[in-house]
Structure 1
Amino acid sequence: MDVPIFNSTIEIDESVVTESTADIRAQIDEYERGDRRAFDLEIITPDGLLGEVMTAMAEIPYGETRSYGDLAADLETSPIAVGQACGRNPVPILVPCHRVVGSDGDLNGYSAADGVATKRRLLEHEARDQKTVQTRFLTDS
């Protein structure tokens, strides 16, 4: 299914998500509005390295990034293998492959939608939202 987000369209393989397409779309809309930071969807991950990388990506907190090398070290594989698995992620955004960057912070590609431009918009959205939350906490104190 194609999902519009931040002036791009991202393809999501809904066959690996147990909830309905309406639920998927609703949660992505909430994410785009800034009302959702984590997805409450059951995703069926494949066996092997792709599943391991997807699980590791799903654990990256909202608004944070990890490098391909960080994930590779955790999974005892190579950064190239992690990058290839990121590129095969069937559910971008839901499993946040946009949060995986190069060791120098470079975005280094994105397989969904408009590539790096979309990855940048997603990361900027999360960073902006993080600052809003931090500002709220500071003013509420």
Structure 2
Amino acid sequence: MEITTGACRLGLWFVHVSWQGDLVLRVRFSRQGVESSVPAPIRRYCAGQREDLLALTSTATEGDSVMARIYREVRRVPYGETATYGAIAAKVGTAPRVVGMAMARNPTPLVIPCHRIVAKGGIGGFSPEVGIKEHLLSLERRAARKNGEFNPDL
């Protein structure tokens, strides 16, 4: 099967995706792009529809490395909710700093929803810009409200 690449809008950003079937190989954010084909769940998510992206997979979750275990745990954080770096670290048996490092190296954001992982005292970081993380959390908050799933802690 051939690898496909495409992009869709997410507010002022473009989400560039490389995928093969339901396997997402890479997701990146850019200020530039041209709208083209992306997996339907990602397009719906970026349009603000309630979409958890669990039908898509990432090679980053395969294996038993600390990073893969962190990524699998992050995928368990439900749409519209957040968890702290420390909470993920405790579940995986590592340090919060290691979780932060894994989030910074996440090859498939959205599929592995690193934007849902926040610092104990604030929002935490996000590459390439924390404004994207804020936008994603706001998008999920709005969709959750629309579906009657309001979470005031988000």
User: The TM-score by the shorter chain falls in which range?
Assistant: 0.7 to 0.9
Q: Does structure 1 residue 118 correspond to structure 2 residue 132?
A: yes
- Aligned residue pairs total 131
Q: 2:99 is matched with which residue?
A: 82
TM-score normalised to the size of structure 1? 0.80
Task: Summarize the Cα distance change of 1:50–1:2 in structure 2 as closer, same or farther, 3 Å threshold.
Answer: farther
Q: Which has the higher contact order (CA 8 A, sep 6+)?
A: 1
Q: Distance in 1 between matches of 2:106 and 2:139?
A: 21
Q: 1:139 is matched with which residue?
A: none
Structure 1 unaligned residues grouped into runs of 5+: 136-141
Whether the 8 Å CA contact 2:24–2:108 is kept in 1: the answer is no
- Alpha-carbon offset, residue 2 of structure 1: 6.2
Q: Distance in 1 between matches of 2:18 and 2:73?
A: 19
Q: Does structure 1 residue 63 correspond to structure 2 residue 80?
A: yes
Q: Distance in 1 between matches of 2:82 and 2:58?
A: 21
What does residue range 1-141 of structure 1 map to in structure 2 within 5 Å? 1=5, 3=7, 4-12=9-17, 14=19, 18=23, 22=37, 24=39, 26-39=40-53, 40-44=55-59, 45-47=61-63, 48-104=65-121, 106-111=122-127, 113=128, 115-134=129-148
Root mean square deviation of aligned Cα: 2.6
- Alpha-carbon offset, residue 22 of structure 1: 4.2
Fraction of identical pairs, as percent: 29
Determine which structure has the larger helix proportion and give its number: 1
Determine which structure has the larger strand proportion and give its number: 2
Whether the 8 Å CA contact 1:68–1:103 is kept in 2: the answer is yes
Name the amino acid aligned to 1:8: W
- Alpha-carbon offset, residue 10 of structure 1: 3.8
- Alpha-carbon offset, residue 23 of structure 1: 5.2
